[in-house]
Amino acid sequence: MLGSSERRGDMKRAVAVLTHLSIFPRVAPSPSWRVLLAAAAVLLLWRSCGTRAALAARAILQEAAGRRSQVGGALEQRLDDLLMSREARNSSMQQSHRQRAPAATAAVPVFSSRGLSEQVVLAFALGQVVLSSGCLLRVASALLLERHVPMSDVFGKPLQQLGAMMGDPPNKREEKKKKKGSGEGKRKSVSKRDTSAFNPRSEAEVREVVERWKEYVHPRAREFFEKPEQLEEVLTQLAKGTDKTDDPILGPDEKCVYWYGDVTKDDLQAAIRMIKPKEEVESVTYVNRVLAFIFATDDSFEKLMALPKEPFKMSCGDQLCVHLAHISLAVS
C-alpha cells in the first residue's frame, strides 16, 4: 500500500484527469489515451489497489501531466479548489450516505470505503471506460485487475486500424480462395511494368525521399510505429521498391508508379515485408494498403477501411502500380 502523502498526490492527479477529461482532446488527442487515463485514475481511486498496480497507473498519469502542462496553471488552481471543496464535504456526505442507505453501501464493496464524492468520480470514470471500444475496455479491466498490459494493447485503436487496413496476408488470402474453389482458372493481373527499365535509388536518394515523405505521414501512422526508425524502415522499403524517377506519394496523378519489390506469386500483387510493433516475426502485406494507412486522409481512410481485406483495386487497372492517387474504392 502507498503512504498517505503519496496517495494524496495520486488522488489529486486522478481527480484532475477525471474532472477535466473534456480538455484532453487538446492535450492528448488520442481517444485511447483519454480512456487509459480514466482507467488509471479509477485504479488510483481504488483504495485497496496493490503497490505495483498503483505505480503503473501513476506513471501513466505523470506522463499525461507532462502533456497537460501546456494548458497552464489555471487547471491546477481549479483542481486545488475542487479538492478542497471535496474534502470539506467528504466526511459529512459519507456519514449521511451511510445513514440513508447502509444496505446499498454494504451490497457494493467497491464503494464501502469511499466518500460519496469519490463514488461519483469513480462512476464517471467507469462510464468513460464502458463507452469505449471493446479493446480499450479490456485494457482498462486489465489495469484494474493488476494484469500486465502490453503497450500495443494500450494504443489499441491504431493497431486495430492497421490490422483492418493491412488485410489478410497474401498466403492466407490464397488459402481462402482455394477453400472457396475460386483459386483455379482465375487469370493473373496484367501489368505494363518493365523490370529492365528499373532505375533504383542510391542510398543518398533513398534518405532524401524518405525525409520528404515523412512530412506527409498521417498522425495515425506516427502513433502506431513506436519508434521513428520503424516508420523510416517501411518508407525506405517503399523508396527502394520504386523507380528513382517516380514518386508514389507526390508524383503526378497521370503517371503510374510501378513496384519493383516483392510480388505475390498467384495474382501479381505488390507486396512488402515488415515487422509490426510488438511482433518479432516478419509479415507480408500489400503495398497499396500500407500506403493508404500511412498517407491517406481521414475521409479516404474511412472509406477504404469499409472495403474487403484484399489488395485495393487500382484505378489505372495495373495492380503493380502503387501510386497513392490511383488507389480505387472499387470492389472486384
pLDDT digits 0-9 by tens, 227-246: 899 999 999 999 999 999 99
Last residue of a domain, one of 154, 185, 216: 154
Residue 297's domain comprises: 162-326
Provide, rounded to the nearest whole percent, the portion of the chain with pLDDT above 90.
28
pLDDT for the residue 43: 56
pLDDT at 132 over 60: no
Q: pLDDT-derived band of residue 213, with 50, 70 and 90 as boundaries?
A: very high
pLDDT digits 0-9 by tens, 166-204: 555 555 555 555 555 544 444 566 889 999 999 999 999
Query: Are 314 and 189 members of one domain?
Result: yes
Residue 332 domain-assigned?
no
Task: Quote the CA–CA distance of 1 and 3 in Å, as a whole number.
Answer: 7
Query: Are 197 and 128 members of one domain?
Result: no
Contact 225, 231 (CB under 8 A): yes
Residue 240 domain-assigned?
yes
Query: Are 120 and 178 members of one domain?
Result: no
Last residue of a domain, one of 90, 125, 154: 154
Query: Are 77 and 168 members of one domain?
Result: no
Query: Are 142 and 187 members of one domain?
Result: no
Query: Are 141 and 180 members of one domain?
Result: no
pLDDT at 217 over 80: yes
Interval 116-131 mean pLDDT: 46
Query: Are 11 and 146 members of one domain?
Result: yes
CA distances from 24 to 21, 179, 315 (A): 5, 48, 40
- State the pTM of this model: 0.49
Query: Are 149 and 166 members of one domain?
Result: no
Residue 311 domain-assigned?
yes
Query: Are 260 and 313 members of one domain?
Result: yes
Query: Are 210 and 262 members of one domain?
Result: yes
pLDDT at 13 over 80: no
Q: What is the 3-state secondary structure (H, E, C) of the chain?
A: CCCHHHHHHHHHHHHHHHHCHHHHHHHCCCHHHHHHHHHHHHHHHCCCCCHHHHHHHHHHHHHHHHHHHHHCHHHHHHHHHHHHHHHHHHHHHHHHHHHHCHHHHHHCHHHCCCCHHHHHHHHHHHHHHHCCCHHHHHHHHHHHCCCCCCHHHHCHHHHHHHHHHHCCCHHHHHHHHHHHCCCCCCCCCCCCCCHHHCCCCCHHHHHHHHHHHHCCCCHHHHHHCCCHHHHHHHHHHHHHCECCCCCCCCCCCCCCCEECCCECCCCCCEEEEECCCCCCCCEEEEHHHHHHHHHCCHHHHHHHHCCCCCCCCECCCCCCECCHHHECCCCC
Query: Are 82 and 172 members of one domain?
Result: no
Q: pLDDT-derived band of residue 316, with 50, 70 and 90 as boundaries?
A: very high
Task: Quote the CA–CA distance of 38 and 72 in Å, as a whole number.
Answer: 21
Residue 34 domain-assigned?
yes
Query: Are 107 and 210 members of one domain?
Result: no
Residue 209 domain-assigned?
yes
Residue 331 domain-assigned?
no
Last residue of a domain, one of 154, 189, 209: 154
Nearest Cα to Cα of residue 245 among 201, 190, 289, 279: 201
Domain count for the chain: 2
pLDDT for the residue 5: 60
